Amino acid sequence: MTSLGTDTISAPPTGSPASIRLDLAPAVSEREETAQRLLRAAAKRSFDPASDIDWTTPINDDDWFYIPEHRVSLYGTRLWESMTRRQRIALSRHEVASMAQTGIWFELILMQLLVRFVYDEDLTSHNTDWVLTEIADECRHSSMFARLSTTLGGAQHHVSRRGHLLGRILKTIADPPEGFAAILIAEELLDTFQRETMVDEAVHPLVRSVSQLHVVEEARHVKFAREELERQMHSVRGVHLQRVRMMTAWAAAITAHELVQPSCYSAVGLDPREALRAARASRVRRDSLTWAASKLTTLFEDVGLIAAPSRRIWRDAGLLAA
């Protein structure tokens, strides 16, 4: 596994073109200070996936899993028990490729949300400088995920047509609170899985290295998005709050649904419908999703983003304990 430094990686602290203009004057200084800190951190610790990751380790289905075994979507099901070890490893490889391709979808939506957000900001501020730096990071991450998917075999695991359409709607109409909530959904879910993956020695070194690089750089993005969401939620009330809650809940449910595409199952010789039913019915899989979303849902509860009736959407998606 390629080393990306010796610093301890710790979790960040909890903390439509927008028609709603928020009164940000009281928080401008705080926001600028955060942006300056993030810019300094980015200058000290940013990476180039092409040169900072070893892409040469052979890919096979004999030696390593590609995500921790207990995080494979069918783990703990009867169908899993019927699979050979090689078939299980192959499924983990395809699921990583699926998450990488879904990750690119996330990043494309995220970048457009950030561009729309910064369009109305002071273009000479440190905050704008930071947002542009983050967008540059996401461009590199998207290229890295594409290369990872190709290196793992090049199978196509595109998001569903529904996910593609809903993502297009979200990136077009989300206002700033909805946009930063959506950004955190994608970042926090993937970050939690990757933090576990990067330290699991049973996982292929390439996937561990990609995970570590992404975790290091995304920690800055998560800090920015958390603080921005908390700041903006102070001004969200009434009907607007209900809309933000529902938009956020649906964005979370769709994101969780799109992580593993049914094409992963057919790629290893399984009936995709049967496998999808097994995964959705699996208590183990549901617990994995709830675990992955735990930091996210704690924050969203704290800022008032999860409440009836949207709470049911979170539970049905497996992102909140039933």
Indicate the domain borders of the chain: 84-316
- Please report, in tens digits, the pLDDT of each residue of the chain (322 residues total): 444 543 433 333 334 434 333 344 444 589 999 999 999 999 999 999 999 999 999 999 999 999 999 999 999 999 999 999 999 999 999 999 999 999 999 999 999 999 999 999 999 999 999 999 999 999 999 999 999 999 999 999 999 999 999 999 999 999 999 999 999 999 999 999 999 999 999 999 999 999 999 999 999 999 999 999 999 999 999 999 999 999 999 999 999 999 999 999 999 999 999 999 999 999 999 999 999 999 999 999 999 999 999 999 999 999 999 7
Instruction: Determine the residue type at 9.
Output: I
In the structure encoding, which two tokens stand for residue 212, read together?
Answer: 């570590």
**DSSP sequence for 62-112:** SS-BSS-GGGSTTTTSHHHHTS-HHHHHHHHHHHHHHHHHHHHHHHHHHHH
Pairwise CA distance, residues 91 & 77, whole Å: 14
- Integer CA distances (angstroms), 260 to 96, 169, 213, in order: 8, 21, 22
The residues that bridge with 65 in the sheet, in sequence order, are 203
* Nearest to 193, CA basis, from 280, 107, 113, 296: 296
Range 84-316 has CATH code 3.40.50.10860: no
Q: 10 Å Cβ neighbour count for 243?
A: 14
Q: What is the 3-state secondary structure (H, E, C) of 289-310?
A: HHHHCHHHHHHHHHCCCCCCCH
C-alpha to C-alpha distance for 188 and 215, rounded to whole angstroms: 10
Q: What is the pLDDT of residue 29?
A: 82
Q: DSSP letters along 158-211, please?
A: PPPHHHHHHHHHHHHH--HHHHHHHHHHHHHHHHHHHHHHTT-TTB-HHHHHHH
